[in-house]
Amino acid sequence: MENGNFANWVRYSVTFRIAVVGILALLLLIPVGMVRNLINEREFTKKTAEAEISQKWGGQQTIAGPILSVPYKKYATNSRGERLATTRYAHFLPEKLSINSVIKPQIRSRGIFDAVVYSSEINFSGKFTGPDIKNLGIKDAEADWSKAFLSVGISDTRGIEDNIKLDWNGHYIEFKPGVPSDDVIRDGAQNYAMEPYYGKRTERQFLSVPPPSRRIGQSSGISAPLSLEKGVDEYEFSFKLNLAGSRDIQFVPVGRITEIALKSDWNAPSFSGAFLPDERTLTEKGFKAFWKILDLNRGYPQAWTGNAYNIYSSASGVKLLITVDDYKKAQRSVKYALLIIALTFLVFFFSEVFNKKRIHPIQYILVGLAIVLFYALLVSISEVAGFGWAYLASGVATIGLITLYSKSVLANTKMAAIQAAILSFLYLFIYIILQLEDYALLMGSVLLFLILSAIMYLSRKVDWYATGETERDK
């Protein structure tokens, strides 16, 4: 092909223009990726702010207990024939455990970011049967009944707001900090690693940062010393715990029969953990939830020795969510960026084909960058005004800018109006998809089908070969 013919082919070929427009659309995925990174960075900043609030107020709370523990001596003979004794613990769970909690949430802010914290009043009551150590293979002479204790695991003890007194068969005993044995009560139920961070942090790591003084494996909780008497068949107990925390509160169902009743004026709960509530009521004024969990539902018995079982795997409770996750919605909306860019470029391309109006690649890029800028505006405005208003403001600004620019570039008011109508429809439809999260795939598929059908209908009579020839012959 001679140089002149090649230049004409490049200038007038519809195929070449389609290829160029496609490449430009793909190149715009680079700034779209930069916007994705921007959203991730802002989300990182938000979660960091939430973690700082949690550190000062109290982290996510997991309450395990009460657990009755009895120390006993285990004897062994070493290689020199010496008889050595080590202290071990037998652990017993309550026959019945009732937990009633009222959760009072609050919104705390750091800069422009909000976090959900709460104060709670938790009432525990129930009963233990007399510990049967013989079933665990322990002799009466080996048990030290005078040093028995009742322990309650609390994942972040900074949240304890008042002194706690245990009513044990009518006797009042003050709880003490710490737990003598870490067989059952573990560090915040989660064993968070405190090593330096080099990778992607999870949401739980952001919002449940343990205090720096706590180390892996160290127990976190409170305990009350008991002096048990032989021959007592039943011990009744009760105590009240006023506890502050952040977002999550969970309870470990240690009773043979555990009943948990939660109540709050927060209207956006997410029930989480090993068990969902048997009953729940959710209104605009708050929620109520009730669990009844049997020992048959769990993976550990009512009594054992040592650290044979992990009771935290059965924890259940509630998360107090902020209903609007602006960053998640922004990330989902960015997924449709290529679709909006492609359809906007398509309108420009059809204007070239039908109106014989040449459009420079730079003009395509400027319009594409305006679309990309929509997402940056969306994120920045949503941080202060909410996602809905941010979407409206960003959409109006972007559609207005592209429409005015299209009118000037295309020199055709009708095509500019069509461009504005298409963009308005797309942004409105995408907003609807973002609200209908469960049906996003269905609605997105329907949208793509309708768009493809419209393009096929409008271009059904276009003779693409004749179009290029006609322009070249002028």
Q: What is the pLDDT of residues 55-84, one digit of tens each?
A: 777 788 889 989 998 888 877 766 676 667
198 and 163 co-located in one domain: yes
194 and 74 co-located in one domain: yes
Give 311's DSSP letter: G
Whether pLDDT at 226 is above 80: yes
Residue 53 lies in a domain: no
Provide the Cα torsion 274, 276, 282, 288; round to 10°: -80
200: pLDDT confidence band, cut at 50, 70 and 90? very low
Q: For residue range 2-27, what is the model confidence (pLDDT) as tens digits?
A: 555 555 555 556 666 777 777 887 88
Mean pLDDT of the chain: 77
Residue 50 lies in a domain: no
351 and 431 co-located in one domain: yes
Model pTM score: 0.69
297 and 356 co-located in one domain: no
Q: Pick from 177, 208, 178: which is nearest to 194 by CA?
A: 208
Three-state SS for 241? Answer: strand
16 and 62 co-located in one domain: no
Q: For residue range 141-166, what is the model confidence (pLDDT) as tens digits?
A: 777 788 889 999 988 888 888 888 99
Report the C-alpha gap between 126 and 409 in whole angstroms. 78
| Beta pairing partners, 76 | 84
Residue 51 lies in a domain: no
258: pLDDT confidence band, cut at 50, 70 and 90? very high
Q: Which residues contact 323 (CB under 8 A, 6 or more apart)?
A: 268
If one compares 274 and 195, the residue with the highest pLDDT of the two is: 274
If one compares 224 and 58, the residue with the highest pLDDT of the two is: 224
What does the pLDDT average to over 430-458? 73
Element (H, E) at 287: strand 286-294
Residue 125 lies in a domain: yes
Determine the structural domain holding residue 262 and report its residue range: 58-322
Q: Pick from 169, 178, 79, 187: which is nearest to 125 by CA?
A: 169
207 CA to centre of own chain: 9
Q: How far is CA 19 from CA 10, 16, 26, 213, 242, in A?
A: 11, 5, 11, 61, 67
283: pLDDT confidence band, cut at 50, 70 and 90? confident
What does the pLDDT average to over 426-454? 74
Residue 250 lies in a domain: yes
Whether pLDDT at 94 is above 90: yes
Q: Which residues contact 333 (CB under 8 A, 6 or more apart)?
A: 375, 378, 391, 430, 434
Residue 219 lies in a domain: yes
105 and 220 co-located in one domain: yes
Q: Pick from 112, 105, 132, 78: which is nearest to 326 by CA?
A: 112
167 and 20 co-located in one domain: no
- With beta carbons less than 8 A apart as the criterion, state whether 193 and 217 touch: no
Domain boundary pick from 322, 356, 372: 322
Whether pLDDT at 274 is above 70: yes
Whether pLDDT at 247 is above 80: yes
Q: How many CA atoms lie within 13 A of 180 on its CB side?
A: 22
Whether pLDDT at 136 is above 60: yes
* 250: number of Cβ within 10 Å: 23
303 and 425 co-located in one domain: no
Percent of the chain with pLDDT over 70: 81
Q: How far is CA 75 from CA 70, 72, 125, 134, in A?
A: 16, 10, 36, 16
Whether pLDDT at 104 is above 50: yes
197 and 301 co-located in one domain: yes
Structure tokens at 99: 């937990």
Residue 460 lies in a domain: yes
401 and 293 co-located in one domain: no
426 CA to centre of own chain: 29
Indicate the number of domains in the chain: 2
19 and 108 co-located in one domain: no
Long-range contacts of 44-48 (CB under 8 A, 24+ apart): 44/201, 45/113, 46/113, 46/327, 47/201, 47/203, 47/206, 47/207, 48/206
Residue 52 lies in a domain: no
Report the C-alpha gap between 143 and 166 in whole angstroms. 23
If one compares 218 and 223, the residue with the highest pLDDT of the two is: 223
What does the pLDDT average to over 404-419? 79
Whether pLDDT at 325 is above 70: no
356: pLDDT confidence band, cut at 50, 70 and 90? low
158 and 258 co-located in one domain: yes
Q: What Rg do the C-alpha atoms of the chain give, in angstroms?
A: 33
- With beta carbons less than 8 A apart as the criterion, state whether 104 and 120 touch: yes
What does the pLDDT average to over 161-173? 87
198: pLDDT confidence band, cut at 50, 70 and 90? very low
Whether pLDDT at 251 is above 60: yes
Domain boundary pick from 275, 292, 322: 322
Domain boundary pick from 273, 292, 322: 322
